[in-house]
Structure 1
Amino acid sequence: MRLPLAALALLAAAPALAATEAAGSLDGITIIDRLDVNDIAAGSVQRFWFRAGMSPVGQPWLIPVIVVKGAQPGPRLVLTAGIHGDELNGIAVLHRLGATIDPAKLAGTVTMVPGLNPPGLLQSTRQWTPDWSRSAPNLNRELPGKEGGSAIADFAGRLWSRLIRPNADSAVDLHTQSRGTAYMMYAFASTPRTRHMAELVAPDIIKMDKGDKGTVENTLTDDGVPAITLELGRPEMFDDTMIARAESGLTNLMREMKMLPGKLTPPPASLTIANDIIAARASKPGWMRLLLPLGSPVKKDQPIAEVRDAFGGLVETVTAPAAGRINMITTDPRVAAGDTIARIVWWSPDPACANGC
């Protein structure tokens, strides 16, 4: 593949671009093997395909990248979405921000990656599914990966070492709940700084959470880059309300970081801060109907759902195992014994739980 003439001229004129490795082009968009945002011209918007390794049929996995480089120097913010292939709202958020952030008014650089998991997105699966594997891995448990390792380790390693980590001073990873479930607008944080970042984005609930090994959020935070996970409702759809809220919240975060001008919006008075969570589960199979909407406050032992048999007879009333607020619900009425019906968050006074139990 050949670089477009404009890209070749730019490379020849600017030796500093050596850190960003160009590898060709597709429909006029440069394909890169590595990104260094220091190479991007100030006051510009650039779009790339990032090559994150090869598929089992010998073709590259190409990931879209949008870089908005401000006219003035400042922090480097990385925004990612679509690491789970059925979680789509974040992709639309990044499309909007890529089209609306004015580089002339921006201080610093925003790197946006709207689609980290191409094989999962193709099959609308939570997992990384480049083949027919019955035990496909979760890409959001594989960072920082290892270049030259297994297929998933190499893919994750390239994302980490060539794209995400070298260009991040702060980060937000955008998700939704997975198939058959729904969240409120819900953020995970694990430190005082990331809690403040989450408050600025203005979700309904913030869960202080130590998190899982290998996620974008925790791998970055553990490496000294404050990062949060932002959950945006339901899977496999574009929800305009959630998308607009996230766009507004991320803009507010950029204002606090002195990247964009404008007045800060304080967190909503209705914001719930939690540090513990528990699942309400069905003990019997059948057809489930929720009795309370997503976001409801609940008391311990309050009925939250009914399970009925094939003829409509009541077989179980599911109750809240603790007092708190419903942050997640099952949207599929078909449930098996042991299935989660809802999750409830609350604040534990235990000092050990300050940053998540």
Structure 2
Amino acid sequence: MRPMLLAVLRPLLLAPLLIAPLLTSQARAATETVGSLDGIPVIDRLDVADQPSGRTSRFWFRAGDTATAQRWLVPVIVVKGARPGPRLLVTAGAHGDELNGIDVIHRLVASLDPAGLAGTVIAVPGLNPPGLLQSTREFTATGSHNSPNLNREMPGSLDGSAVAHHAALLWQNLMRPNADLAVDLHTQSRGTAYVMYVFASNARTRRMAELMLPDAIKLDRGDKGTIENTLTDDGVPAITLELGHPERFDAAMISRGVAGLQNLMREQKMLAGTVIEPTATVTGNALASVRAPRGGWARLVVPLGSRVEQGQPVASISDAFGRTTDTLVAPQAGIISSSVTDPRVERGSTLVRILYSSPDPACAYGCP
């Protein structure tokens, strides 16, 4: 090739090489559809920016691997408003026996009209398919209670264990890239129950917690690897909303969860309407636990959600013949935020937890 002609053509010859990385980067950021199942697209990556406005879309997201060389499929619903606005991520089912949040998502989505929505709701009603199948808190396909906790694995690792790999795919390709704020839905674990209860770790998330109109807010630095804290630490304000009992759909709790999310969305200008301010929420930064001094049959003297005074009887333990062996009292004044629901208790089992406020400045957002 002649030198002059080469000089003219060189920029044109190099252009595809220069453009290719940009195209590759864009393709990697876009939604990656790999097939369909019963008419629902199956995706490896979601980018809500390329989803149509004014529409509700549904996907199966391919997450981790199973022991039979298949993929776990996680349901995803995207409600993209006709007008721009925040991206609200709502997740449920990180623990497979905590089910109220799944119906909260179903009902919230059913209540939304994309034509009247500003912004986008990204709803994931079932993060932990193996746990849901086994009705276990853990991430397990075998029912083992020694298996890991998906809600302690964020942001995961693509080169890690099965649960770490699953978490990393959720984090990198679904959750983190599509969130401006987030609410992770839970209940208490098997054998126990919560009031409507929110965990918050800073001033911004405390305001989000208040807008959920809960019974109680626990100011809490949280545990490493939770969805809430990992998102918040990465710049996405997030809260954990706890909704009552495990392994059931509680209509009253579900309705309150939907109403709380709608109230948060009104504050974010995603929905029209007046923001409702809380009037009866108790906020605390510390918990006092009342534990069984011996095994036996537990009875609660005051119900879940009650406000108690220090020294007030809250529970009793009876022996195999029904004789009361112990009457247990509140070590602090506060609200009973969680309680045992299974009367069979072992020595050391927690019967109730009392939420209260510690005056210690170090406990402003949870005691260290």
TM-score with structure 2 length normalisation? 0.91
Q: Which position in structure 1 is the counterpart of 2:286?
A: 276
1:325 aligns with 2:338: no
1:40 aligns with 2:51: yes
Say which SS state the counterpart of residue 259 (structure 1) adopts.
coil
- Structure 2 counterparts to residues 8-27 of structure 1, below 5 A: 19-27=30-38
Distance in 1 (alpha carbons) for counterparts of 2:153 and 2:36:
28
Q: CA deviation at 1:132?
A: 5.5
User: Structure 2 counterpart of 1:296, which letter?
Assistant: S
1:237 aligns with 2:251: no
Say which SS state the counterpart of residue 177 (structure 1) adopts.
coil
Q: CA RMSD in A?
A: 1.2
User: Structure 1 counterpart of 2:323, which letter?
Assistant: G
Q: Which position in structure 1 is the counterpart of 2:366?
A: 356
Distance in 2 (alpha carbons) for counterparts of 1:148 and 1:260:
41
Checking the alignment, whether the CA contact within 8 Å between 1:184 and 1:327 is kept in structure 2 is: yes
Distance in 2 (alpha carbons) for counterparts of 1:249 and 1:17:
35
Distance in 1 (alpha carbons) for counterparts of 2:145 and 2:48:
38
Q: Which position in structure 1 is the counterpart of 2:90?
A: 79
Q: Which position in structure 2 is the counterpart of 1:286?
A: 296
Checking the alignment, whether the CA contact within 8 Å between 1:45 and 1:66 is kept in structure 2 is: yes
Say which SS state the counterpart of residue 68 (structure 1) adopts.
strand
Q: Which position in structure 2 is the counterpart of 1:339?
A: 349
Checking the alignment, whether the CA contact within 8 Å between 2:133 and 2:141 is kept in structure 1 is: no
Q: What's the CA shift string for 1:74-131, capped at 9, x where partnerless?
A: 1111000010000000000000111121110111110000010000000100000123
Distance in 2 (alpha carbons) for counterparts of 1:18 and 1:153:
22
Which segment is superposed worse, 133-142 or 306-315? 133-142
Distance in 2 (alpha carbons) for counterparts of 1:17 and 1:245:
38
Distance in 1 (alpha carbons) for counterparts of 2:315 and 2:142:
38
Distance in 2 (alpha carbons) for counterparts of 1:228 and 1:175:
11
Say which SS state the counterpart of residue 244 (structure 1) adopts.
helix
Distance in 1 (alpha carbons) for counterparts of 2:28 and 2:346:
56
1:28 aligns with 2:50: no
Unaligned stretches of 5+ residues in structure 1: 1-14
Q: CA deviation at 1:148?
A: 2.6
Distance in 2 (alpha carbons) for counterparts of 1:150 and 1:76:
30
1:302 aligns with 2:302: no
Distance in 1 (alpha carbons) for counterparts of 2:83 and 2:324:
64
Q: Which position in structure 2 is the counterpart of 1:249?
A: 260
Runs of 4+ in 1 over 4 A off after TM superposition: 15-18
TM-score with structure 1 length normalisation? 0.94
Say which SS state the counterpart of residue 122 (structure 2) adopts.
strand
Checking the alignment, whether the CA contact within 8 Å between 1:17 and 1:39 is kept in structure 2 is: no
Identity value in percent = 63
Higher alpha-carbon Rg: 2
Q: Which position in structure 2 is the counterpart of 1:262?
A: 273
CA distance 1:132–1:254, shift in 2 (3 Å): closer
Q: What's the CA shift string for 1:121-166, capped at 9, x where partnerless?
A: 0010000012354520000000000113211110000010111000
Distance in 2 (alpha carbons) for counterparts of 1:17 and 1:322:
54
Instruction: Give the counterpart of 2:138 among 116, 121, 127.
Output: 127
Checking the alignment, whether the CA contact within 8 Å between 2:231 and 2:237 is kept in structure 1 is: yes
CA distance 1:288–1:77, shift in 2 (3 Å): same
Q: What's the CA shift string for 1:158-203, capped at 9, x where partnerless?
A: 0101110000000000000011100000000011110000101100
Distance in 1 (alpha carbons) for counterparts of 2:214 and 2:241:
8
Distance in 1 (alpha carbons) for counterparts of 2:280 and 2:275:
17
Q: CA deviation at 1:354?
A: 1.2
Which segment is superposed worse, 165-174 or 124-133? 124-133
Checking the alignment, whether the CA contact within 8 Å between 2:105 and 2:125 is kept in structure 1 is: yes
